[in-house]
Amino acid sequence: MTLTLQFVPYTDIESLDTTERINKLLDIVKGKNVVLMEGRLKPEEESKLIQTTMKEISKSFKGIELCTIYPEDKNLDLFKKLKRNFTSFILGDREGITIIGPATVVKEIRRDPNKIQLFTFDLKKG
């Protein structure tokens, strides 16, 4: 079995509303692919993603593993923070990476804190 990482550029989701974004991402994940998305969802979208995932759990779909890496802003000065906020406001939240994998394939995504480790189930057997 091959583990497929599907890249989703921010431009693919920026014109979509919350429901459409979530459905698009979940469709990819339900096809047993790992989403590698540019940027991040809003907190409200992340919680909506969890709710939708719960509604769709079935014999073949056990849920998701989710992880977001976002550059820390605690070391930025005020000007850089304002610049980042302004850019996010104009262009959307493109900074960082979001990883979403199907729980049947991805056992755990460990973030600690600027490093991501992706643990999969034994893929050889698939």
Interaction of residue 125 with other proteins, rule CB under 8 A: no
Binding to other proteins, residues 80-119 (CB under 8 A): 81, 103, 109-113
Closer to other proteins by CB, 11 or 85: give it: 85
Q: What's the token pair of residue 10?
A: 């921010």
Q: Which of 13, 25, 66, 105 binds other proteins (CB under 8 A)?
A: 66
What's the rounded Cα separation, in Å, for the pair 64 and 9? 20
Query: Length of the chain in residues, anyone?
Result: 126
Q: Are 95 and 102 in contact (CB under 8 A)?
A: no
Closer to other proteins by CB, 28 or 66: give it: 66
What's the rounded Cα separation, in Å, for the pair 41 and 126? 31
Interface residues toward other proteins, by CB under 8 A: 42-44, 46-47, 50-51, 53-55, 57, 62-68, 74, 78, 81, 103, 109-113
